[in-house]
Amino acid sequence: MPECYRIGSVTVELTEGDITELSADAIVNAANSWLKHGGGVALAIVRKGGEEIQRESDEYVRKHGPVPTGQVAVTGAGRLKAKYVIHAVGPRFGEPEGDEKLASAFRNSLLKAEELGLESLALPAISTGVYGYPYARCAEVLASVLLDTLPRARSLRRVIVCLYGSEAYSAFSKVFRERLGAYSSTC
Ligand code: AR6
């Protein structure tokens, strides 16, 4: 069962599953600065969406250079149900100012969706795979960003936080209930 929170005019839905299966205007990828989508959620996105996502990513880096940690780049979404993939570069756990960089990666994803005028966005638990962040710490960072950012949202109405596996879901659920309990809502 998904669980939901309402912050301003946006419903935040916590769900367990594969982000590449979701219907949202954009899905966020947990990328590296070179947009080389070699593992984790990035590889799943390219496998299902098609090589054009990797080609467009390569083109982006050729034109603009690597994407700094905490920043985002946008490509099309190939065969995925989404219109766009927003590639967000998170920090490695333990690097200096990691939490601030992780917050930037989430915040810039939400702001980019707003800039594109999107209604719905799906987010993975950025940095909690190859980059080693504990789920609970990532959830704390994301909860703060949602509370800061969503009250000012104009186009966004739905943010889906997609957790891969029950361990990730339980950890996020616990933190979100503690931090966002006052915003609890029906889905
Ligand atoms: N749907 C949703 N979440 C997923 C999926 C999926 N299909 N597959 C994995 N996850 P990671 P990072 C979860 O490693 O830590 C890549 O090689 C996963 O369980 O994808 O930011 C990139 O190219 C974890 O909770 O991203 C970079 O080099 C979360 O997604 C580097 O890894 C993020 O795990 C980025 O590392």
Distance 35 CA to ligand 1 centre (A): 13
What pLDDT band is residue 2 in, cutting at 50, 70 and 90?
Answer: confident
46-56 pLDDT per residue, tens: 999 999 999 99
d(CA 161, CA 16): 8
Q: Is the CB of 129 under 6 A from ligand 1?
A: yes
84-120 pLDDT per residue, tens: 999 999 999 999 999 999 999 999 999 999 999 999 9
Q: How does strand 120-123 pair with strand 158-163?
A: parallel
What pLDDT band is residue 36 in, cutting at 50, 70 and 90?
Answer: very high
Q: What predicted TM-score, i.e. pTM, was given to this entire model?
A: 0.98
Using the predicted structure, report yes or no on whether residue 1 has a pLDDT greater than 90. Answer: no
Distance 104 CA to ligand 1 centre (A): 17
The token pair at 95 is 């690097």
Distance 65 CA to ligand 1 centre (A): 22
Do 134 and 128 contact (CB within 8 A), yes or no?
yes
d(CA 43, CA 164): 14
How does DSSP classify residue 25?
S
CATH number of 3-185: 3.40.220.10
Residue ranges covered by each domain of the chain: 3-185
Q: How does strand 84-89 pair with strand 72-76?
A: antiparallel
122-165 pLDDT per residue, tens: 999 999 999 999 999 999 999 999 999 999 999 999 999 999 99
